[in-house]
Chains A and B, each alone.
Chain A
Amino acid sequence: MGRFGVRLMMCDECERILLDWTSAPTNDARASSVSLLTLAESHTQSCPECASRSADLARLHAALDQLRDSTSQMEAPAQVETNLLAAFRQSTTRNASFIGINLGKLL
């Protein structure tokens, strides 16, 4: 606890929160760590090293978002689907003939 009963945050704790917070929009940690983030933000205001680290991480995440957006429309070529559907048909035919052979033996 600090001088006025306010909890003080250490640099490594601040970094951990910043790393967790900016990981992914769906991250479970996000919803539960709003108050921790507020603490981390107030820490960065008084700690130049953590402020710089926070800015670096923000830039990294902006770049990752950009990379994600740039590949968001990419998908496998149509030929892959054609090949797979052919493989699927072949496998079902094989299974059907296997069943047919065994039924034939039984009869």
Chain B
Amino acid sequence: MNVDDSGPEDDSLLLQLMLAGEERGFASLYRKYQASVYRFSLQISGRQHLAEDVTQETFLVLIRAAHRYQPERGPLLLYLFGIARKLAWKSMRRERFFSALDDDHVVEPVCLPDLAGDLARKAEVRQLTEAIVSLPRKYREIAVLCCLQELSYAEAATVVGCSLGTVRSRLHRAKDLLLKKLKVRGLGQKAAGNGSVWGTAYDV
């Protein structure tokens, strides 16, 4: 979602309705942002059950403390990302989630109609997902925010609460680490074949 398209005027109106106890205010905000918050949580944790919990908890925080949102500090979506980020790291710490992914909980890419290339793409997406999830926290969250959620450096800085320069350097480092991890894993080898986006660059 493009943060600029989120309609801050609409959001403040919906928040006012919500604060006045109107369910439609909350329901509209939830329907507007749940997918972005869910995907962000999923991309950062790599686990669906955790993403569901984090999404639910994030909007519970909004129900309990909507008055704490300050529009002058940025769009509502960035505020929600900020909450989701903290909750996700807290949940991952609780689950001691710093080990390899379990197969039964890993993010499964959506199947594409092209069946011939689907397996190869799925393997690539899975390898990249695993590489992202194995990044250290400070690089992972920036990679997800900038590369997958398509936030600008300034928006990512708002979510994480750091400077723009820090976002830039962390993103550069994240990309370096991703490239190294993907090279080690030999992404683009036999499973991907010639149609791989990685071509033969990572053949060892």
Using CB atoms and an 8 Å cutoff, list the residues of chain A in contact with chain B: 16, 19-20, 23-29, 55-57, 59-64, 66-68, 70-77, 80-81, 83-85, 87-89, 91-92, 95-96
Contact = CB atoms under 8 A, between A and B. Distances in A.
B110 interface: yes
Given A20-B168, A23-B146, A74-B39, A88 B107 contact: no
Given A70-B110, A71-B148, 12 more contacts: A16-B172, A19-B175, A24-B151, A60-B178, A62-B197, A68-B150, A76-B56, A81-B31, A84-B56, A85-B23, A85-B27, A95-B21
Given A23-B147, A64-B128, A71-B109, A80 B39 contact: no
B171 A23 contact: yes
A88 B124 contact: no
A76 B197 contact: no
Given A55-B201, A74-B38, A84-B56, A67 B63 contact: no
Interface residues of B, number: 54
B148 A64 contact: yes
B201 A80 contact: no
Given A64-B128, A74-B42, A76-B34, A57 B21 contact: no
7 contacts: A26-B2, A28-B153, A70-B109, A74-B39, A76-B51, A84-B63, A91-B64
A92 to B, nearest CB: 4
B130 to A, nearest CB: 11
B92 to A, nearest CB: 18
Interface in B150-189: 150-154, 168, 171-172, 175, 178-179, 182, 187-188
Contacts of A96: 21
A25 B163 CA distance: 20
B55 interface: yes
Given A67-B148, A71-B110, A76-B55, A60 B26 contact: no
A83 B39 contact: no
Interface string B6-21: 0000000000001001
Given A71-B43, A92-B21, A60 B151 contact: no
A46 B160 CA distance: 39
